[in-house]
Amino acid sequence: MKKIVSKKVLVPIIAIAFLFIGSSYKSDFFEIAKQIEIFTTLFKELNMNYVDETNPAELMDTAIKNMLNELDPYTKFLNEQDVETYRINNAGEYSGIGAMVRSFDDRLLIIEPHEGYPADKAGLKAGDELIQIGDIKVADFENNASELLKGANGSTVTVTYKRQGKLKTTSIIREGIEVDAVPFFKMIDNKTGYIVLAKFNAKATDQTKAALLDLKGKGAEKIILDLRDNPGGLLSEAINVTNLFVPKGELVVTTKSKVKKFNREYHTNNQPVDEEIPLVVLVNGSSASASEIVSGSLQDLDRAVIMGARSFGKGLVQRPLKLTYGTQLKVTISRYYTSSGRCIQSLDYWNRDESGNAVRNTTFNDFT
């Protein structure tokens, strides 16, 4: 039986078309409208006439992902589940089992069950391999199986896991989990405080400030801020964390885009906690985005010494744009520049070599 394209499927296409039309130059209007018309006609004819049954949703998902793959790895289509995950990561809280896990093709590995949370209460330990979650075998699940561990507060999930070659099963009652931006801080000697800032979610500034004040209260006369393996997060939190160490009114970062409204300068708005205490910032190859804003700007403002390995080099800013049916487009809207005008974007995704790989940006500024 032939399938006719649903109007519900075509609505998102039209919505995306208007989104791009609205933000593009007027001279592009005809070309965009032309290509959208060609695509919708092709999509309709393909679904109606292809020899085998087709799945319009899967075809569309593939088409969108392949289109975005031509741009940069940060511009992504988010379905409803992706949107919720994105919200959770930025908010710093979710409902689940409370454990750090690493995903492999056929299993999930428990890296650390957080003390006092459901996974810990159920007896899971670091090194346990999750083989099955509910009725679903991890090896058969195509997407990120760790998402199966999340669910409504108070709901129960049964997991089968392997420990030292033996299979075990346990039930875990999910709870609300707070994701700390600062999982660890301490005095490493009588005068030096050490703060690990793991991510720039909505808790980053408050928790970094609390850690800084606590360490100063214990006698810290110098601070090490560890941003190693911090992948970034909210731009606003990067600015506010920088503001903890520099005066009000300082330029932290500038964003530049082809769309005028996205061209902005971001300054510190608050009084600092301490603009004199000696500061060292640690970075490595996995320190990216917001981590590089903080590191680069503190260096530009002569406020900190940066130590470690070359950072990742992500100087692209994304913004989520709402589409239809609860989906979103997370799209790169601009590049950011540290206070001295340095762009740290290391790869140019618009220009690629013969193998299709992004070329190294000749204007890349490494600050380590």
174 and 204 in a common domain: no
Domain carrying residue 209: 184-360
pLDDT tens-digit readout, 309-351:
989 888 888 888 898 888 889 899 998 899 888 888 877 776 7
Q: Is pLDDT larger for residue 87 or for residue 136?
A: 136
171 and 206 in a single domain? The answer is no
Residues 163, 213 within the same domain: no
pLDDT of the residue at 362: 54
User: What is the reported pLDDT for 6?
Assistant: 44
- The last residue of one of the domains, among 28, 48, 66, is 66
Judgement on whether residues 352 and 303 belong to the same structural domain of the protein: yes
DSSP for 15-68, please give it.
HHHHHHHHHS-GGGHHHHHHHHHHHHHHHHHHHHH-SS---HHHHHHHHHHHHH
> Per this entry, what is the length of the chain?
368
pLDDT in tens, 178-204: 778 998 899 999 999 999 999 999 899
User: Would you state the torsion angle of the CA atoms of residues 289, 295, 298, 301, taken in this order, to the nearest 10 degrees?
Assistant: -80
Can you tell me the distance from the alpha carbon of 27 to that of 21, in angstroms, rounded to the nearest whole number?
A: 10
Residue 319 lies in a domain: yes
CATH number (domain holding residue 342) = 3.90.226.10
C-alpha–C-alpha distance, residues 129 and 265, integer Å = 47
Region 40-48 average pLDDT? 92
- The more confident residue out of 355 and 41 is 41
pLDDT at site 251: 96
Mean pLDDT for the chain?
Answer: 85
Q: What is the mean pLDDT of residues 83-98?
A: 72
Report the pLDDT value the prediction gives residue 361, as an integer from 0 to 100: 65
Closest CA to 243 of 192, 293, 185, 189: 293
Would the pLDDT of 212 be above 60?
A: yes
Number of domains comprising the chain = 3
For the cut 50, the answer to whether the pLDDT of residue 4 exceeds it is no
Q: At residue 89, does pLDDT exceed 70?
A: no
Token pair belonging to 280:
């060292």
- How high is the pLDDT of residue 44? 92
How far apart are alpha carbons 7 and 26 in whole angstroms?
A: 28
* 47, 20: one domain: yes
Asked whether residue 346 is assigned to any structural domain, the reply reads: yes
* Listed range (92-101, 123-132, 238-247, 320-329) with the worst mean pLDDT: 92-101
What was the pLDDT predicted at 115? 82
pLDDT mean over 274-287: 95
Q: List residues with catalytic annotation.
A: 289, 300, 314
Indicate whether 173 and 251 sit together in one domain: no
